[in-house]
């Protein structure tokens, strides 16, 4: 299981971006974070074409499908949606990893029992 944001484990930074210009202020070790996948997917396409590691917070299956097709590294969703997405990701052999948003260590067992790729702590996503 991938764990981002635990105080016990060193994690790369997730840096929220909303334009190509903001990418210049990030480091190669950072993971670019799109808070949503907006049509016409210009920023996601830019990340994909430049082989940048990026994550997208999704609120629907459709957005997760597009994120994976656009070479997203991590698809982030609430726990309930992450459970659904993990099954789809497994069936369709997604390259992207599914991350469930959690608020405490107590939720790790639930995530593991549902075979979700990983977690990210909610407070780690704050700017």
Q: What is the pTM of this model?
A: 0.95
CATH number of the domain bearing residue 108: 3.20.20.70
Q: How many domains does the chain have?
A: 1
| Domain range for 57 | 2-125
Q: What is the pLDDT of residue 30?
A: 96
Contact in structure between 43 and 15 (CB atoms under 8 Å): no
Alpha carbon distances (Å) from 44 to 17, 94, 112, 123: 11, 16, 29, 24
| Cα–Cα distance measured from residue 106 to residue 103, given in angstroms and rounded to the nearest whole number | 8
| DSSP 8-class letter at 123 | G
Contact in structure between 52 and 23 (CB atoms under 8 Å): yes
pLDDT digits (tens, 9 = 90+) for 65-110: 999 999 999 999 999 999 999 999 999 999 999 999 999 999 999 9
pLDDT digits (tens, 9 = 90+) for 6-40: 999 999 999 999 999 999 999 999 999 999 888 88
Helix (H) / strand (E) containing 106: none
> What is the four-CA torsion angle of 122, 124, 72, 63, rounded to 10 degrees?
30
């Amino acid at each position: 299981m991938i764990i981002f944001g635990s105080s016990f484990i060193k994690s790369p930074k997730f840096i929220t971006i909303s334009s190509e210009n903001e990418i210049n202020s990030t480091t190669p070790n950072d993971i670019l974070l799109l808070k949503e996948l907006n049509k016409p997917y210009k920023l996601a396409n830019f990340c994909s074409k430049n082989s940048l590691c990026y994550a997208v917070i999704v609120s629907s299956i459709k957005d997760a499908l597009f994120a994976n097709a656009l070479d997203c590294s991590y698809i982030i969703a609430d726990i309930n949606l992450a459970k659904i997405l993990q099954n789809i990701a497994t069936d369709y052999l997604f390259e992207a990893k599914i991350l469930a948003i959690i608020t405490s260590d107590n939720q790790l067992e639930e995530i593991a029992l549902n075979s979700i790729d990983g977690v990210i702590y909610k407070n780690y996503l704050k700017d």
